[in-house]
Amino acid sequence: MVSIFIDGQKFDVPAGITLAGALYMLGKRIMRHTPRDQNPRSIFCGMGVCYDCVVVVDGQANIRACQTEVRPDMRVVTQRGEPKLEHSF
């Protein structure tokens, strides 16, 4: 098991699974909302083609959850519209 943070809340998930699998396992079906109409999106293709499952991971936007393996202390934020990024200049 590894601990990850999703929208500020800590969860323990099995090591070696994808982030999309972890989110789905935790009952988090909506991973982002579209920028224009705020329509909810979830896992669609599950193989990195559609980009419906993109989230912000450790401050980096548009990470495909279906292609990303969980790692300890990963910080995930579901995207709502255009992602809000943390900048350190």
Residue-range domain boundaries for the chain = 2-80
Q: Give the pLDDT of the chain (89 residues) as one tens digit per residue.
A: 999 999 999 999 999 999 999 999 999 988 888 888 888 888 888 788 888 889 999 999 889 999 999 999 999 998 876 665 554 43
Q: Return the pLDDT at 75.
A: 97
Q: Return the pLDDT at 21.
A: 94
Predicted TM-score (pTM) of the model is 0.81
The number of angstroms, rounded, from the C-alpha of 64 to the middle of its chain's C-alpha atoms is 7
Q: What separation in angstroms does the CA of 70 have from each of 1, 9, 23, 34, 37?
A: 10, 15, 10, 24, 30
**Which CATH class for the 2-80 domain?**
alpha beta
Are the CB atoms for 26 and 13 separated by under 8 Å?
yes
Q: Return the pLDDT at 88.
A: 47
